[in-house]
Amino acid sequence: MHIIETGNVAAALGVQLAKAQVVAAYPITPQTPLTEKLSELIESGEMDAEYIPVESEHSALSVCIAASTAGARAFTATSANGLLYMHEQIHWAAGARLPIVMCVANRGVGAPWTIWNDHQDSISQRDTGWLQVYASDHQQIIDSVIKAFYLAEKINIPVMVCYDGYLLSHTYMPFEVPEQEKVDSFISPLKSSHALNPDDPANLNTVTLPDVRLDIHGKIAHGYMELRYLLQEGMIHAIDELGKVEERFKEIFGRGDNPYIESYRCEDASFIAVSMGSLSYQLRDVVDQLREDGIKVGSAGMRLYRPFPHKAVIEALANVKGVIVFEKAISYGFCGPLYSDIKSAIYDNENRPFVHNYVLGLGGREIKTGDLAGVLRNSCTENMSRTEEPGWIGLKI
């Protein structure tokens, strides 16, 4: 079934189809319509789940942690400072290896207050142990939510599905809603290995000592460092698992793409513009324009940001002269975080391309296609030296 709806509704329908059992949320713009839609579906009986309104975002994720620990399929959503308010529990969910799924409708972080889009909120959580997937349109939103539940429960690591506030959350686009029977065949009922059972009591996430120790059964138990190592290994393993998830999704639903990098006219490109979210689709118009002028440029949208798919990045950028990274985030005191990761991934390339970095769109600042075209043209034809400081597009100082 094809419908025309908002990105927030696309996300809600993905949660409904995945048969989440517990939804806990606190409203924050531009996420609010997503959880409102879920509350309507639950209240009307169209979705068999518990909707738990709470007093804060910290409490929302706390409820999901408790529900997931008890063996339920749990979901929440947030934006901006709400995500930051969850920060302690974001670490906890990952450290406890709980398969929670959370949508982040990306929004700039205060102070000063802004309700508009950039990627500072989710990027600030990149080192918390959650997978981060970025969607570029509504079809990717609903599909990514469904895939996120499957992947999270397969590897026992929580997943963020991130999409641009307003640019995707509130705009209307056509997308296909999968059949419930197909989703049921894709996602099996949750079988938690650590679900609470009164007949089999256990202590979970007790205080660990610096070294390994014997558990109550006399067996060696992991210490804190071993648990962090296993989470790191699980994250790296998730890269290959995501590829398998994508293939399984293609078999059942008949659609899919590269789960790591979505490329446009990159096959013969000498230069590639890299970005995340809806910006990667806006850059396609720029690519077409520059192609008409004889500049061999392509666009690559990062779908997976954490774990960072370094092998896919190396493969995508192996034979180009230059990489131009456009991003709606800044790592204060250095450069754009995506730019830093791209440079690190291709450092050992024999023919390492130059890499340029541009920061833009912070706090919802308008991104003009003409400005993108001018900057990209300059990087590809006139300014092919390596740089360290990021350029700023749309800055008025």
Mean pLDDT for 352-367 is 96
- Superfamily assignment of 2-186 in CATH? Thiamin diphosphate (ThDP)-binding fold, Pyr/PP domains (3.40.50.970)
What was the pLDDT predicted at 47?
A: 98
The fold of 261-392 is Rossmann fold (3.40.50)
Structure confidence by residue, pLDDT tens digits, 196-248: 777 777 777 777 878 888 877 788 888 999 999 999 999 999 999 999 999 99
For residue 174, the SS3 value is strand
Four-CA torsion 234, 303, 266, 378, nearest 10 degrees: -110
For residue 181, the SS3 value is helix
What was the pLDDT predicted at 196?
A: 72
Structure tokens at 114: 């802004």
Task: Indicate the helix (H) or strand (E) that contains 19.
Answer: none
Please, are residues 123 and 276 in contact by the beta-carbon 8 Å criterion? no
What was the pLDDT predicted at 220?
A: 84
In order, the DSSP letters of 152-169 are HHHHT--EEEEEETTTTT
What was the pLDDT predicted at 194?
A: 67
Entry field: residues in the chain: 397
Sequence ranges of the domains in the chain: 2-186, 261-392
Separation between Cα atoms, residue 201 and residue 218, nearest integer Å: 17
Structure confidence by residue, pLDDT tens digits, 109-134: 999 999 999 999 999 999 999 999 99
What was the pLDDT predicted at 369?
A: 97
The separation between CA 88 and the C-alpha centre of its own chain, rounded to angstroms, equals 19
Mean pLDDT for 317-346 is 96
Structure confidence by residue, pLDDT tens digits, 3-59: 999 999 999 999 999 999 999 999 999 999 999 999 999 999 999 999 999 999 999
Structure tokens at 253: 């639903």
Structure tokens at 169: 């959350």
Structure tokens at 233: 């290994």
C-alpha count within 13 angstroms, C-beta hemisphere, residue 329: 23
pTM attached to this predicted model: 0.96
2-186 and 261-392: same fold? yes
The set of residues, in sequence order, having a beta carbon less than 8 Å from that of 155 and lying 6+ positions away, is 99, 234, 237, 238, 241
Give percent of the chain above pLDDT 70: 99
Structure tokens at 339: 């730019």
For residue 202, the SS3 value is coil
Please list the residues that pair with 133 across neighbouring strands.
Answer: 161, 304
Mean pLDDT, the chain, whole residue set: 95
